Every structure is written in structure tokens, then in C-alpha cells.
A and B are shown apart, each in its own frame.
Chain A
Amino acid sequence: MSKYIAKAAIRGATAIVNEADQLLEAAIADLGADKEVAFTNTAYYLPTILGFTGKEVSNLGQLRDVVAHCKTLLNEPPGDELWLPYLGETLDSGAATLLAAETIEAVRFVRGQQPEKIDGLQLVGTSAPGGPGYANGPIDDIQLRAWGIQLVDGRMPGFAAIVGCARSNEAAVTLIRELQKRNILVFLSGNVNGRSIIDQLQEEGVEMGYDTYIVPFGRDTISAIYALGFATRSALTFGGMSGGQIRDILLYNKFRVFAFVLALGEVDDLKYAAAAGAINYGFPVIADTVIPQILPTGVTAYEHVVSMPFDDIEGDTDTDKARRMVQRAIEVRGVKIKITDVPIPVPYGSAFEGERIRRADMRVEFGGSKSTAFEYLRMVDSDSIEDGRITVVGPDFSEIKDGGAMNMGMVIEVAGRKMQEDFEPVLERQMHYFVNGASGIQHVGQRDITWIRFSKAAVDKGFGLKNLGDIAHARLHAEFGAIVDKVQVTIYTDPEKFEEWLAKAREAYLNRNVRLAGLIDSNVEEFYSCTLCQSFAPTHVCVISPERLGLCGAYNWLDCKASYQINPTGPNQPIYKGTCIDADKGVWEGSNAFVYANSQQAVDNVSLYSIMDSPMTACGCFECLVMLIPEANGVMVVSREDPSMTPAGMTFSTLAGVAGGGLQSPGIMGVGKYYLTSKKFIAAEGGFKRVVWMSSNLKAIMADELKQVAEREGDPDLIDKIADERSATTVEELLPFLEEKGHPALVMESII
């Protein structure tokens, strides 16, 4: 701290605790102490309060204890002379500020004042409760988990909590774009004299929402609490910590969540107080105005408070200055960022992955309903290609009218001493992410159902077909440099050549399918581990076999094998199966030993095919959750995207709290959704026929695959016999449904 900041922060903390007290008492007087309080779609109650105090607050009355606790954390501000030490006291006051802010937001939720109304705000990809015209409010558990894997594997290095209003709209946009480029999540809140960076971005037409990694919480400082609620939940969700273990939660954030605060514009008492709260998490503060700096380190990993007066930053334009500011912020937090320079005329970064190109904004599309596009990556002899050579064979799209479609095939040829044929699909699948990273370009699908749209804006900036090759070349070298030495891309639009290569590609897809079908657990010598998430969930180990992919859905056996080639000391290590201990449950000596050694001795036995006996642990970013429904003699499968109530009496978010954090809990486990289609899916308990309930969105997304599973199981109508949230949200509703449909689980031997 500095004395100046300590004084301001303690003043701010005292004021907001008093405000919380008054608002709470008024709300209790109006609505009663029993009035329920909750943030939307979270299993973590009021998460910051849960983290700090362990209290599961669910009504207004319980918040009184929280406010009383806040008061014990407040201190006298330091005097002008002969002052007493203030760092610890200020940080405590900061903690009080956070608890008070969350109390206030909870009260506002009860009164329907949160999320905040912001006229004309349209969020992309947000399922937040307000809908159009409202700020996002707290991030729900679903989104937290969806981002989880990106946060742990480093694709998303962390988050920036921006509070206030930028020096200019130009500065605001550049700050955001620079952060997006580095895939840093951006949380927005606060204002300066009534004007918020949210207003600035809205004026400049910047798309905000989960899909663009920009989340507007609200136009006041208090709403910044949602950023810390997100941080607290990261530790609870992925770190396996419980409410009340606040020291661990804060240290988890210091060491594993790379976040920082950008304070834009004048910093008032409340902002200082909130900043002191954030410093508890190890998050430093970078301001664009003149404020006292706190450069010694310790509570945060690097400097605590850095002042970068905006007008003094080197650079001719606000864009230059904003760029330098982001650069400095990243240094201060020590965020590790991998940037691949992709030589294309539009901005590039995975924050642009979620962009949608609407028909009206589209210049041209390849694939979709009106044309065909395909991607085919194959391994070739090193001498036969020239690295970096990108050729377009056939006409470009200049003759196609706006919004039109054309056929296009992209053939990517790679060579490398460590390249294997098995890796072709692994690398090919990456094209989805690679192409989507370009701003103004949308990519959907894969193989011959690829569908790419170019926006008018991107084409105006000069983006052309050849740039697809530039992207493939740059990213394959950057990500797979260990196995790929040369990359050559040929793009076919010439009708004859297109057909010729489409046929070749389809033949290759077929061969791969055959090979993949033969790839079963009993035919391989080694499985692979995935300990990527140990940076977040230190005792969790995924054992990935050909028939059971990683629970996040992002890594299958082939991916892991390739990853091991790329980085032999990385998170994906071969696990030699060794002697089989139990073939039905899927237990091997080798996998047990590996898990024991790599889970900090927390887990000594893992069944790959059982949910009841030593099931695999989970980090927190699983796609689906499978849970025993004893009354129905089966299991239910809840999708991460499904916010509805389940027959277990809990929503996904609440259940996930039980299944995550690297703990082994029989009867519940997190899985990747494609494991449902595996022959080994809970094979020890009888397999897929045990599924009595499944989120309807899963049924929809995986309709074809599930149909095949039903046929394989000898019960073609099986999927219709499985209930979902539309037919049953309680066991009482579920059982008659199953009886009526004649679900096979009812007559199977007892699962317990």
C-alpha cells in the first residue's frame, strides 16, 4: 500500500459496508428476512461470500452475519503523522469491500435491479437472465466451466477486470482488441462521471458477450464484484476447495489465475477499496491516471499498483498508447502468452472464435446449404512439397455476388520426420479453431461438411482465399512445430480439380473411419494421461483410452498421442497398461500406479468402465455429468449447457460441485459427451442401456451418433425411452415415464 491509497481504500470500505448495511436492512424491512437471495445459475450461492466465510447464504436475513463480519474487517485509516502500519489493515478492508459489494448486488437481485438495464446492449452468446437491453450480471457456472479448459490449457491466459472509462473511445477499442488478440477475457464495470467503457464500446459497435470474451457486468464499480466471484468459483470448481478455505482460494488465484485490474480514469475511494480487495487475490492494479505506485512485490507476484498516466505513454495516437498499456499490464501480472503472428489483413486471436457472421454481413460463403467445402490434411513425402507455398487453383470469389456461395476445397499437405498418419485427423480438426481465430471469418464443421463465411468487413480489409492457407501454415508451425516441418496449402475452386480432390478426400475419410473403428482399448499397449488440468485441479488425472476420451471432450487418445510426440515431457504421458486387474471394470496395474503417483497419492484405484466402483476423478470442465438414479436402476446424463432441474433434485451446477476438484465419488462422474457412444461407457454397469434420463440438447446435438448406439445395443427406439427435462424433472415423474416406455434399465439387475 501507500498511505494515500490506504486512507482512500479504508474510507471507501467503510462507506460501502455502511451502505450495504442500510440497503440490507431496508430490504429486510420491505421483504422480510426470509426472502430468498441468489445469483442466477450458480451452485455457489453468493460465491465471494461463500469463499471468504463458508456461509451458504440463501436469504436476506443470513446476510446480516456477513455485514457484521465486514465490520470486524474494517480499520481506522492511517493518520498523517506517526501512523500505524496499514497494509494488512487495508487488505482486510478490501475484503470487507468485496463482501459488502456482493451483499449489495444480492439485495439488488432481490429487488430486480440486477443485472443492470443498459439500453440497446445486445450480448452475443449470453444466456444471462436479463436478455437484450441488460448487462450480463454474474457469469453463470455453465460458462465458467466452458471456459475452464481454455483457462487451464493456456489458450485463455486470464482475465482483465476493467473498471471505469477509457481516455477516449479509440483507446477503449484498442485496449479491448489488444486483450482479445491475446485471448484474455475482459470484464467491464464502473464509470467515470457517469460514463462507462461499456458505453464507449457500445458507441463503437464492439460486439460484447460470452462469444467475444467481453463481459459487461454493469456501469458501477460494485458490479466488479462479479469478476471476483468468477475468480472465487474458479478455485471452488477446479481447485477442489470448499467455501471458507479462503487462504487457499486466494493463493490459488495468485498462482493459477492470471488476472489483473485496469483502472481507467479517476480512481475514487470505492475503486481503491475494491482494488485492495482484488490485491488479496494476487491481482495487481494498473491505472491510466496519476496515482501512487506500489512496486514492492509479495501479495501479488509482481508489482501491486502501477500508474501509467495515459497522456505520458509514448506513442502518437491513443491506439499506440493503449497498446503499450496492455503490454505493461501483461508484464505486471506475469501472464504467459503465446502469440502466433498470422500474416493476414484482419486481427487474429481466439477471442474472435465465437464471432457469428450474419447473412446480411456476409460477402461469400463456402459450404453450407448452397455449396460444398472440404478440408483435407494429409502427410506427404518431405521432398514433394515446398514449405509456405500457398496456391489457389481456380477463380477467386470476385465474380460471386454479395451473399453468394461457391465450392471450395482446402488441401493441406504436411511433412515431418515425426509426423504419423494417425495425426492427420488430429491436425485437420484444428482447422476449425485456426480459421475461426480470424476476425470476420466464421468456420463451422469439418471434413466435407466444412462451412466457412467471410464477412464483408474482412474482405474489405483485403482478406482472400489465400489467407486461409496463411492461417494454416502459421498455426500448424506454431502449434505442431515438433512434428511438422513443412506445410503446403492448395485451395481448389476450379470445378474439375475440386471434384477430383473431394473424391480423394472422401476416400481418406472412409479409411480413417475404418481405422478408428478398429482402435479399441484391448488393441493398444498404452493409454495416455492428461494432467493438463492439474494446474487447476492438482489431484486430478484423466486416463484417456481409445474408447474413453478426456472428460472435457477436447482430447482423445490420438490427440494425446500426438501431443506426446510434440512435447514428450508435457501433460500427456503414455500409461503402459500392464497387467489387467479387472477387464469388466477396466482396471489395470499400470493405470492405477500412474494415477497414484500423479494424484499426490490421493487416488490409488481407477476403473475406466465403472461409475460405481472407483470411478475416474474430474477436474471441473467436463462436458456432461453422469449420475446414479437408484430409484430408476439407471443413470442420468446432464449436459453442461442444460440449466434445468434434474431428477436428482439438483441442477448441473450444484451436481458439478460434487463431481469436480479431483475427488473420487462413486455414483457420479464427469465425462466427455462422446464417451456416451463408446462400447465401454459404464460397461461394468451394463452400458448405455442404463441411461434413463438425458438433457434434451444432447439428444439433439448427437442425434445420429445416439441412433447408432441404440441400434448397437439392439434397441433402436432406446433414445425415445430416455426421459429428458421436458418429460421429467423429478424421480416421481421419471419412473412412470420409464414404465410407460418400457425402458430396459427397469428390468436389468440392480445397479447398486
Chain B
Amino acid sequence: MPSYNSLDSAACEMLSACEGVVETSFSRADAMLPCSIGADALCCRHCAMGPCRLIGPHMTGVCGATRSTVVARNFARAVAAGAAAHSDHGRDIVFALLAVAKGEAKSFRIRDEAKLREVAGHLNVKTEGRTTEEIALDVAEKALAEFGKQTGSLSYFRRATIPRQEIWREQRVMTRGIDREVVELMHRTHMGTDQDPKNLLDGCIRAALGDGWGGSMLGTDLSDVLFGTPSPLKSKVNLGVLKDDEVNVVVHGHDPILSEMIVAASTDPEIIEYAKSKGANGINLAGICCTANEVLMRHGIPPAGNFLSQELAIATGAVEAMVVDVQCIMQALAKLSQQFHTKLITTSPKAKIEGADHFEFDEHHAYEDAKKIIRTAIDNYGNRGKTKIPQVNEALVAGFSHEYIRYMQGGHFRGSFRPLNDAIAAGRIRGLAAVVGCNNVRVTHDAPISQTIKALIENDVLVAVTGCAASGAAKYGYLKPEFMEQAGAGLREVCEAIGIPPVIHVGSCVDNSRLLTILTECATEGGLGEDISDLPAVGICPEYMSEKALSIGTYCAASGAYTLFGLPSPAAGSPAVMDMMLNGWMERFGGGIDFEPDIDKLIEKALAHIDLKRKELGLTEYDPERYGQSGDRLMEEILEQAGDFAPLNLYSVKDAAAAASAGNKQTV
């Protein structure tokens, strides 16, 4: 096994074990190169006259479609799929809320009433003198209407800065309804319809904004309403969280509704008793992918890994059941699980896999469904053979909702974004970066994520992480507060003042909507311009893999963020389309999408953009030497050296240090 396959020692250990025994995505990738025509998006399959391969620079399709049109159309189809995935996820959450409001989903309840009222405000739902259920019912119905709306614009656009709303209105890209834009984009990309690349890309923006400020944001908000708004907690990450003596159940996918119930059912005394009756010491839950992030943020359930760890978890032989819902679930799991004792359990009617057990999950009898699933896992415990669990795990702190980020900067009474903005303006923090996205087996697993984050924090850039980049970062200890010691002096000072790691875990990939809220709050707090595009901030997706990432990148760019992807461009077949997405969007939206597979260069570009924005804002030039005098270090050193030999002269650092080193000399 080549060592560059993964940075993660647990993954490497498992890959060695798998080599020659079972197939993994790593071995399949080695066996198959990416299709070079598809990589440049130059293959058009939109009608039966083709497929047309536009390999020459001036070639057109049979219908005359140019390379730019074909590339833009392929990009658009990907964005439509990505936006659809996030938004459909959001819709399911809304349906769950609706069922709860109607009293039809007894297993759930509304956990964050304050947030429900806040969301109600955004959706123009009256709250005064009304019960929680009445409000929830109206909120759910209004939220559903956002999907089906045909005219006007999304209600949540009002949460953007005023200048941003004006840009969208002027550029005519405001989403009318979440579903409508996806359908329209599918229509536009039908043979012989929209054949102007710029117009196609504008369609992409409308659909993607419907994801970021629509489906995803509603998904995040209503998940918080139903399951609680996250605040920091401690946990662990990596395959080492699987347990040798307990029933291991791994939840994988994206939708928190089922996994919430699995968490609840796993602590049911009756279920635990049942597990013990089968010889296990208990039930151990772990997560993969974004379902992991959802249950981590709210319950501290440890992630067993990120996207590329999914097969490796099963290969430990220690997983009784892998319970999956939607998105990013490799079909290979079905075959793989049969090579071990693992039950692969699909739960969504939208996502069945041939060869898996299907337990259709319905929020109306969620708890019963969850118990049934866990019982199945328990029943499977006896079938476990030899296990190989890498003894690798790392501690982490996660759970930074934007509500908590406000709180952590001033408490209940003074919470705001002022300290963060001050720190950026003063240059203690050089800028902000969101490091998000997937894993991609075409690069060394986790390496681009790790390299990017380390370089950024060394350069005093505060990093927020989501999705598989978040669990990736966690594996290397980046989410531990102690990691601040690796940060630049100014950033470390801020981290120490607040008590945070320099890399903060903001959630799942749907929770990229939290980043929009955070950046909007920074922009409106004052001192850093008026809009997201004014901020010294970048979005980075070092290991992009899924179509959702392209939708996210598109809505981030259209919201004013410079967004970098660490892989080759899926629009590489048309320099004109690439230029439109980078420079064209930059001009129109103040943000754009750039693809830079060379991670060193990607980091350079990110820092250059941050410095450019600092300059445009007229902020002090970043100087890594200027700050870092505060903190506990001096105090701790003095106390430590002093040991029991007090008294010290507290009025002098020099004396105190001298006394401390001299041992028991009294100086007062």
C-alpha cells in the first residue's frame, strides 16, 4: 500500500490490512484513472445524437454546442444535483417539524423554543401569545412554502446584508423558490435550451443560493429547533473509538432525524439490558461523514472518521451495524459488509442499496424504528469474528453554532462579534477561513486539509471547519484548545482570551449555512466593511469530491466569498467558463470560485486575498511579530518554578522570576 494514500495512521493501518483481502475505494482508484474527457467536462450526453466528445479546442457537439456551453451545462447539472441534495435534506427536517407540531411524531419534541421564535421572526410568523406548537406549525408550513414558491424571493434573503441583497437584485439572481430553480436548471440544461454559458451560470447561482440561504439554512435552523442548538462539548475521533467489547453501531450519511433517535434508543435501559444479554458490555455509537457531525455537535457521539473511513470502519470487523441515510454512502459498502459480519442498514426510501437490509424509517414512529435497528445490531454481535481496531484516536472540542460564537465573545449579556472584528482590525487575527468539504481519494487522504489548516493558523488565520474537513482536522488534534500553541502569536492570544481552539468546528456540510450567518454578523458588526465581500475571509474546499461542494462553492461565491477548491477544475475544458466563475463573478459579486490543485499555491492565494481585503479596508498591515504578550504563560512559569517556596514578590516579574529560580529565597 503506498503511504501517500492517507495521512491518517489509523486509515493506513486498515489499508494495509485490506490490501489483497478486500477492495476499497483506495484500491479501486489505483486501478482506474479518472476519465480524462469527463474530467474536463467535455463529454455531452444530453441527447441521443451523441454522446459528443469535444476534445479539440474548436470542436462543437452534433447540435453545434460549444465547449463553453457543454462545460457550463455539465457544471450546472452538478450544481442542480448538489443543491437538490441539500435542499431535499432540509425539506425532510421541515416535515419532521410539521409532524411534531401536529403531534404526530411523539418521539420528538421542540428543544430550542427561543430559536423557533427567532426563525418565526425571519419567516414573518406571529409569535406573541401563541403556543409553541402553533408557532411550529406555521413555521413548518411557511418553510415548506419556501420550497414550492414560484415567484418573489426567499424569505431568508432578508438575513443577508442590505448591500448583498441589492447585488442579487441587480444581478437578477435571487432565488424565487428552492425547487423551482433546480427544476428550471434541469430544463435549461436540456438539449437545445439555454446555450449561453453566462446565463447558465446565473441559473446555477439561483439554484445554489436556494441551497445556502434556503434548503441548507432551513435544515440547520430547524434541526437546532428540534434537536437543540449546539454548544461546545468534548469528544474523540477516529477508528479507535470503536470498542472491542460493545455493540458498535455506526451512523453514516447526513440526516440527523434518524440518528437522533438512534442516540436516544442506544441509552434505553431496556436496549442496554438486551445488549448485555447477548454478551456485550453496552452499545457504542459512532459516526461517519455528516451524520457524525450532527450527533457529535449535539451529543458528543465520536466520529469514527470521515468520508474515506467508511469502508475502513467496516473492515475492522467490529461494526455490528452501519446505519445509513442519504448522500455520500459508497455502494461498495454492501459488498464489503457481506465480507464481514456487518449489517448495512439503509433507512431512507430515497436511498436504497442493493444487498443492504432496508428498514424504512418514518418520523411518525421514529423511536420504535430506532430500537428495531439497534436490536438488529445487537442480534448481530454474536456473529462478530476477529476484529482489528486501530488504537488511534484523538480528543476534540466541537459544537460551535453561530449562537454560541456570539455568546463566547461576551457571555449572556455582552455577546457580539465585536471582539472578533476588533482582533481582525488590529491584525491579531489576519483573517478568517472556512475549511470545508469532502475527502477525495485522488489526493492523499486528509493531507490537503491538514496542510491548509496548519499553514493558515500559523499565519494567524482563524479557521472554521465543517463536514469531512472538520472530522479530518479533528484527527490531528486541531480541534483541541491546546492546538493554539501552534498558531501565530496574535491568533493564539485571541484563542486564549476566549478559550477556543484555533480551528472551530461549526458543523456538517448543511451547516455551511452557519458560515453565511457568521460572516454576515461580522459584516454587520461594523469595522470590516459592510458586506461579506469586504471581509478578509476565504472559503477553502481542499478535498472536494461531491456535487454538493460545487453548489456550496457557488453560493459562497455569490454571497461574496472568494472560494478555493484544492483539485482540478470541473470546468477545465473551457477557460472562458473558468474565467466567468472566477473573475466574472468577482466583479459582479465580490466573490468567485478558483480551482488550485497545488496546495502550496492555494495557501498563497488564500493569504494574498486576505491581505488584499485588509488593504482595501485600510486595516493595519498584518505583522506576525506585533502581538502575543498576553496570557497565562508568564504567570504559570512563575508559579511552577516557585513551587512551594513562596512568598514571592508579586510586584515584580523580575523578582518573582529570580526568586522562583533561586528556589526558597524570600524576596518580600
Partner-B contacts on A (CB < 8 A):
1-4, 6, 52, 73, 78, 81-92, 94-95, 167, 246-247, 250-251, 265-266, 280, 288-299, 303-305, 309-312
Contacts and interface: CB of A to CB of B under 8 A. Distances in A.
A309 B410 contact: no
A4 B632 contact: yes
A296 B635 contact: no
Nearest to A298: B419
Given A2-B632, A250-B413, A296-B423, A85 B649 contact: no
A290 B653 contact: yes
Interface stretch (B58-66, B216-224, B430-438, B623-631): B623-631
Contact of A289 (B234, B418, B627, B650): B650
B395 A87 contact: no
Contacts of B650: 265-266, 289-290, 309
Nearest to A167: B651
Q: Which 5 A/B pairs are nearest by Cβ-Cβ distance?
A: A298-B419, A91-B411, A311-B652, A295-B630, A86-B499
A87 B414 CA distance: 11
Contacts of A251: 414
A296 B494 contact: yes
16 contacts: A1-B499, A2-B496, A81-B482, A85-B499, A90-B411, A246-B413, A247-B413, A251-B414, A266-B650, A290-B651, A291-B635, A292-B631, A292-B634, A296-B423, A297-B426, A311-B651
Given A73-B412, A280-B411, 7 more contacts: A2-B497, A4-B635, A91-B412, A246-B413, A296-B630, A298-B419, A299-B410
B410 A87 contact: yes
Contacts of B232: 84-85
B499 A295 contact: no
B548 interface: no
Given A73-B412, A280-B411, A290-B653, A295 B638 contact: no
B422 A297 contact: yes
B635 A87 contact: no
A250 B410 CA distance: 11
B511 interface: no
Given A4-B632, A82-B397, A312-B652, A295 B413 contact: no
A95 B421 CA distance: 24
Contacts of B165: none
Contact of A84 (B234, B416, B428, B638): B234
Contacts of B496: 2-3
Contact of B234 (A2, A82, A265): A82
Given A82-B480, A290-B638, A298-B422, A88 B649 contact: no
A280 B630 contact: no
A309 B419 CA distance: 26
B497 A304 contact: yes
B493 interface: yes
Contacts of B480: 82
Contacts of B233: 84
Contacts of A265: 650
A247 B418 CA distance: 14
A246 B414 CA distance: 9
Contacts of B418: 298-299
B210 interface: no
B415 interface: yes
Given A297-B422, A311-B649, A312-B654, A3 B482 contact: no
A88 B407 contact: yes
A499 to B, nearest CB: 61
A297 B419 CA distance: 6
Given A95-B413, A309-B651, A298 B423 contact: yes
A91 B234 CA distance: 22
B656 interface: yes
Interface of B: 232-234, 395, 397, 407-416, 418-423, 426, 428, 480-482, 493-494, 496-500, 627, 629-632, 634-636, 638, 649-656
A91 B414 contact: yes
A294 B497 contact: yes
Contacts of A87: 408-411, 497-499
Contacts of B499: 1, 3, 6, 78, 83-87
Contacts of B498: 1, 85-88
A294 B652 contact: no
B409 A3 contact: no
A697 B481 CA distance: 64
B462 to A, nearest CB: 12
A86 B397 CA distance: 13
Q: Which of B395, B418, B497, B627 has the most CB of A within 10 A?
A: B497
A431 to B, nearest CB: 44
Given A2-B632, A292-B631, A312-B653, A88 B419 contact: no
B422 to A, nearest CB: 4
A91 B413 contact: yes
A303 B497 CA distance: 11
Contacts of A84: 232-234, 397, 499
A266 B635 CA distance: 13
Contacts of A250: 413-414
B227 to A, nearest CB: 20
B648 to A, nearest CB: 8
Contacts of A288: 651
A52 B198 CA distance: 55
Contacts of B423: 296-298
B634 A95 contact: no
Contacts of B422: 296-298
A544 B650 CA distance: 55
A367 to B, nearest CB: 49
Contact of B411 (A95, A290, A294, A296): A95
A295 B411 contact: no
A280 B497 contact: no
A488 B498 CA distance: 58
Given A2-B497, A311-B655, A312-B652, A92 B419 contact: no
A265 B416 CA distance: 32
Contacts of A266: 650
Contact of A310 (B426, B627, B651): B651
A247 B428 contact: no
Contacts of A305: 630
Q: Which of A83, A288, A304 has the most CB of B within 10 A?
A: A83
A82 B478 CA distance: 11
Contacts of B635: 2, 4, 290-292
Q: Which of A52, A84, A288 has the most CB of B within 10 A?
A: A84
A290 B409 contact: no
Contact of B414 (A247, A290, A291): A247
B358 to A, nearest CB: 40
Contacts of B630: 2, 292-296, 303, 305
Contacts of A90: 411
A311 B419 CA distance: 32
Nearest to B480: A82
Contacts of A296: 419, 422-423, 426, 428, 493-494, 497, 630
B505 to A, nearest CB: 12
A62 to B, nearest CB: 21
A79 to B, nearest CB: 9
B409 A88 contact: yes
A85 B231 CA distance: 10
Contacts of B414: 91, 247, 250-251, 280, 299
A1 B634 CA distance: 15
Q: Which of B414, B421, B493, B630 has the most CB of A within 10 A?
A: B414
A91 B413 CA distance: 8
Contacts of A91: 410-414
B500 A85 contact: yes
A95 B412 CA distance: 9
B157 to A, nearest CB: 27
A268 to B, nearest CB: 11
B413 A92 contact: yes
Q: Which of A247, A295, A312 has the most CB of B within 10 A?
A: A295
Contacts of A247: 413-414
